Structure 1
Amino acid sequence: MTTGRGAGGRVGLLVACAATLLVLAPIAWFWHASLLPGTYAVTSVGYVDTGTAGTAGTGTGTGTGTDPADPATRPGDGVGPRGATPLAHRHEAVAAGREVSVTDLDTDPTRRADVTVDLVARAGTVRLASGRTVEGYTLNGTSPGPLIEVVQGQLLEVHLRNESVGSGLTLHWHGVDVPNAQDGVAGVTQDAVPVGGEHTYRFVAPDSGTYWYHSHQVSHEQVVGGLLGALVVHPATPTRPVDVDRVVVAHTYGGALTLDGQEGDVRVPAEPGDVVRLRLVDTDDGTLTAWASVPYRVVAVDGHDVHEPPAVERATVGVGAGGRVDLEVVVPDDGTAARVQVGSSDALVVGPAQAQAPPVERPDDAVDLLAYGTPAPLGIDPASPDRSFEYAIGRRPGFVGGRPGMWWSVNGHVFPDLPMFMVREGDVVRITISNDSGAVHPIHLHGHHAVVLSRDGVAATGSPWWFDTLDVRDGETYEVAFVADNPGIWMDHCHNLQHAADGLVTHLMYEGVTTPYVVGGDTGNEPE
């Protein structure tokens, strides 16, 4: 009897062990599959997604469909994708189907610079205008770094020197459709610049508008710490007359929102009747909201002019993380100043010195860019795309880098098993972006501007809404389109940079393009 009970016990133990293995083995497999090698190329992880050919969605957007290969149909009034040629950075090897490195997708090395800027990056103390100090990073001793200004079509040359940023750094030209070699992404288009190292960026400013620059090395720490600045590309021929043109960089230091490094109200000197352009740049991880005590116009979004913008009264306008919105206000003639509230605690007081600006409560209504302004030609035909993709953002349990948790997902996959959206040069590309993750995600596509066609099945009816960074709220679905006119390997990621660091990073890749750069290893490259 004792022997029988012992045998039965051993069988039970074996069954229990087998059951445990059946449970633990898949977990162990998923854990192991989530581990990344110490050094890897971004093209070697995830999977290639070629999408579907010639599939259109429900929204056709505003304007008329025109041939993107015909220069005559390219809009030149600032409402569509602009440039001297339909393919802004066309590369003959890519067009011919031959393999080419990102290092070859570059600016003409023989052309002399029109504007030259020197930047020195340091780690240490950031002193705000109020005198408060925080630990972070500076460029030429300040944060935000120096405002860079060029005229559309000029060649900008920036010499970057890393004096003391221990993890290295790069500069990404956010919203500027630069050639791929100049994109400034560590491990994709260059190596991070180490302490004592230097790097030179050279590119022609293709489109006028408001942009910014920031590090794309350990960006969720370095951008938060202040490694950033504004870039304005002025039009060769001004499209709207203004008397005062002011860039306003919004950034949070040590938990307090600042405008150009200042806390509280910021004076913008102007005379009664002056037309004032305020270029709002949101460098934080969340949406910035603005409103005004006087009527205003939204004259540009992400560097692209709005077509026939109407006056806005008693409504807010949102600026997504990484995005830019240009507002136009007229200084009152009654001796008061205009108050432009930026967030709940900071405001721009626009008017003569000592003029008072009346307080203004936050309006209940908001500007909807889907219907704001009037239609204009798109310059592309999104109803007949060459390639269509799904970009479905969710959240699911799993492992990322060996860590268990709830992670952001794209098309049901978590990092690093995320899609590499593969296109050919010249493709008209249509993407359906949906978000069921429980959070807002500002999706930023490098090297391109896309146009919103629809939101939640409702077609766009206003001015063409061109963007490089799009706030996609929980439960929303957008259809967008763009022309694949800039060959390279491009990040397409969430610009809530902690979300990106947690794996919400995909790439847009052109057929035949390779990179010699890797993430990790001796390079220390860590783009997010």
Structure 2
Amino acid sequence: MPEPKPRRWRGRLVALGIALAVLVPLGYLWATSLVPGSYNAAEMGYADYGGGSTDGHAHHHGAMSVKDLTGPTTGTPDVAVTLIARKQKFQLASGETVDGYTLNGTSPGPLIRARVGELVQVTLVNESVPDGATLHWHGIDVPNAEDGVAGVTQDAVPVGGKFVYRFKAEQAGTYWYHSHQVSSDEVKGGLFGAIVIAPSAPGEVVAAIHTYNGKRTINGRTGSGRVDLPAGTTARVRVINTDNAILRVGLLGTPYKVVAVDGRDVHGPSSVTAAYPLAAGARVDLEAVVPAGGMRLVAGAAATSLGIGPGDAPTGELPGETVDLLTYGTPAPLGFDPARADRNFEYRIGRRPGFLDGKPGLWWTINGHKFPDVPMFMVAEGDIVRMTISNTSGQAHPMHLHGHHAVVLSRNGVRATGSPWWIDTLEVGNKETYEIAFVADNPGLWMDHCHNLPHAAQGLMTHLMYEGITTPYRIGGDASNTPE
């Protein structure tokens, strides 16, 4: 016997109700996840004042554009470099062919060297990088307009265009430069190089570690390279991790000291033989006297290494122990009192399912919010800032703050007792919590993001924003700015 019509209609209405109960919330989540095709970075997310004033208090001097926060606009540069960016096939130093990006025909790009106090001028010319390019001076606390972040401090330089960066070399150390436009592709493909602020020394070795097409290299060379230095030379090995993940590095054949981290000297370093855990984007300077049998820098595994000194340097894997900067070295004054903080922020990294720009997936969150509805950490010039960074996302994140160096106060509630541990890039492991502090002494609109660059592209980025700062640039828009 046929089912009565009212019963059939009731069944259909129940099914429709269930479908609507599922689809309407999904549709809402999809629609609210859409990122505008063009937006101003200074207006994204929501303001977090960290318990401080909302009006800029005594340090506020009125609105100012990032465009006006430049380096010296006059004066003859002491260091003048032109870098020509290309998309092309090129050969690594060890002979393999890579289809990627170059600066002046090579990757890594040319080593830039300056002395403290010198005026640096770098002209970026984009010959053939189709998505545009910029240069970010990773770890150098340049004025905001020179920071090289597409859509935030400048427009991406289009094919046929150029941009001139000018800044004073204020702090000695090991740094690097890279594109901050479609970074997850352009940096991976080779658009980067090293910059050292220090006089050239006989025992200096610069070692930029990068992976091209699955092949790990040191200075663009796979396998084992070599640097000749006489036995007895005090060598300073400047190691730069340009990849997206942490890397254990160290010297075999002799004890060594960790003498600088992220461009800042370590106070009272002692000799170690353990490996050093180098975060993505971070740098470390290792110092050792070259022994008669030579020594070897190992980048993660013995297959990628650099022999330093005479003869055949020892080979093998790094020891299992690691240097812990929480206790390494001896205490020294910070120059400010973190206990008198004007702002106290939380930066909680998580992950949850949902939509981002209409795409379903597992997405990173900051304080429970998905990009671009994330906190903007608001400060005023002169503020002492404390920030607690915690990670429950299931993966580690190398967190990079532009324009500032912060000091690590504690890890997982354990106070730092060694040398002041100054960082611009900090590895925050899963289920780890760090407390850091810094002085807000460089006005601008500054990226604060994960330097595993695909993570940044997936929304793990926000900004440190000084009150009263504006930007005329837009993410997306006609310039197709994609800062990542």
Which category describes the TM-score, using the shorter chain as reference length? over 0.9
| Equivalent residues of 1:172, 1:185 under 8 A apart | yes
- 1:343 deviation in Å? 1.6
In the alignment, the residues of structure 2 paired with residue 515 and residue 381 of structure 1 have an alpha-carbon distance, to the nearest angstrom, of 31
Aligned ranges 1:50-449 → 2 under 5 Å: 50-53=49-52, 95-234=59-198, 243-291=202-250, 292-313=252-273, 315-332=274-291, 335-344=292-301, 345-352=303-310, 355-449=311-405
In the alignment, the residues of structure 2 paired with residue 51 and residue 351 of structure 1 have an alpha-carbon distance, to the nearest angstrom, of 51
Per the alignment, residue 43 of structure 1 pairs with 42
Farther-moved stretch of structure 1 (153-162 vs 44-53): 44-53
In structure 2, the CA distance between the partners of 1:526 and 1:93, relative to structure 1 (3 Å rule), is: farther
Farther-moved stretch of structure 1 (140-149 vs 125-134): 125-134
Cα deviations by residue, 1:174-195 (Å, 9 ceiling, x for unpaired): 0000000000000000000011
Per the alignment, residue 33 of structure 1 pairs with 32
In the alignment, the residues of structure 1 paired with residue 189 and residue 267 of structure 2 have an alpha-carbon distance, to the nearest angstrom, of 36
Farther-moved stretch of structure 1 (503-512 vs 287-296): 287-296
In the alignment, the residues of structure 2 paired with residue 225 and residue 103 of structure 1 have an alpha-carbon distance, to the nearest angstrom, of 29
- 1:106 deviation in Å? 1.1
Q: Secondary structure at the match of 2:275?
A: strand
Matched, 1:500 2:456: yes
Farther-moved stretch of structure 1 (364-373 vs 13-22): 13-22
- TM-score, structure 1 length as denominator? 0.88
Q: Secondary structure at the match of 2:340?
A: coil
- 1:340 deviation in Å? 2.1
- 1:362 deviation in Å? 2.3
In the alignment, the residues of structure 2 paired with residue 316 and residue 102 of structure 1 have an alpha-carbon distance, to the nearest angstrom, of 41
- 1:442 deviation in Å? 0.2
Q: Secondary structure at the match of 1:383?
A: helix
| Equivalent residues of 1:94, 1:511 under 8 A apart | no
| Equivalent residues of 2:60, 2:381 under 8 A apart | no
| Equivalent residues of 1:449, 1:468 under 8 A apart | yes
Aligned to 1:461, which of 417, 426, 435? 417
Per the alignment, residue 66 of structure 1 pairs with none
- 1:276 deviation in Å? 0.2
| Equivalent residues of 1:94, 1:425 under 8 A apart | no
| Equivalent residues of 1:93, 1:99 under 8 A apart | no
| Equivalent residues of 1:93, 1:100 under 8 A apart | no
Q: Secondary structure at the match of 1:37?
A: coil
Q: Secondary structure at the match of 2:350?
A: strand
In the alignment, the residues of structure 2 paired with residue 177 and residue 473 of structure 1 have an alpha-carbon distance, to the nearest angstrom, of 25
Q: Percent identity?
A: 58
Cα deviations by residue, 1:125-163 (Å, 9 ceiling, x for unpaired): 121122110100110010000000001111100011111
Q: Secondary structure at the match of 1:143?
A: coil
Q: Give the AA of the match of 1:253.
A: Y
Per the alignment, residue 14 of structure 1 pairs with 13
| Equivalent residues of 2:60, 2:380 under 8 A apart | no
| Equivalent residues of 1:94, 1:512 under 8 A apart | no
Q: Give the AA of the match of 2:264.
A: H
Cα deviations by residue, 1:106-125 (Å, 9 ceiling, x for unpaired): 12312331110011111011
In the alignment, the residues of structure 2 paired with residue 367 and residue 459 of structure 1 have an alpha-carbon distance, to the nearest angstrom, of 16
Per the alignment, residue 80 of structure 1 pairs with none
Cα deviations by residue, 1:417-467 (Å, 9 ceiling, x for unpaired): 111111111110000000111111000000000000000000000000000
| Equivalent residues of 2:72, 2:168 under 8 A apart | no
- Count how many residue pairs are aligned between Structure 1 and Structure 2: 480
- 1:173 deviation in Å? 0.3
Q: Give the AA of the match of 2:353.
A: P
Long gaps (5+) in structure 1 = 55-91
CA RMSD of aligned residues (A): 1.8
In structure 2, the CA distance between the partners of 1:25 and 1:259, relative to structure 1 (3 Å rule), is: same
Long gaps (5+) in structure 2 = none
- TM-score, structure 2 length as denominator? 0.96
Q: Give the AA of the match of 2:29.
A: F
In structure 2, the CA distance between the partners of 1:114 and 1:95, relative to structure 1 (3 Å rule), is: farther
Per the alignment, residue 71 of structure 1 pairs with none
Q: Give the AA of the match of 1:309.
A: P
In the alignment, the residues of structure 2 paired with residue 35 and residue 349 of structure 1 have an alpha-carbon distance, to the nearest angstrom, of 51
Per the alignment, residue 70 of structure 1 pairs with none
| Equivalent residues of 1:454, 1:480 under 8 A apart | yes
- 1:515 deviation in Å? 0.5
Q: Give the AA of the match of 1:160.
A: L
Per the alignment, residue 64 of structure 1 pairs with none
Q: Give the AA of the match of 1:150.
A: A
- 1:43 deviation in Å? 2.2
Higher relative contact order (CA 8 A, sep 6+): 1
Farther-moved stretch of structure 1 (335-344 vs 476-485): 335-344
- 1:93 deviation in Å? 13
- 1:282 deviation in Å? 0.3
Cα deviations by residue, 1:75-107 (Å, 9 ceiling, x for unpaired): xxxxxxxxxxxxxxxxx9994431110001112
In the alignment, the residues of structure 1 paired with residue 109 and residue 465 of structure 2 have an alpha-carbon distance, to the nearest angstrom, of 31
- 1:44 deviation in Å? 2.6
In structure 2, the CA distance between the partners of 1:99 and 1:169, relative to structure 1 (3 Å rule), is: same
Q: Secondary structure at the match of 1:297?
A: strand
In the alignment, the residues of structure 2 paired with residue 425 and residue 5 of structure 1 have an alpha-carbon distance, to the nearest angstrom, of 75
| Equivalent residues of 2:295, 2:307 under 8 A apart | yes
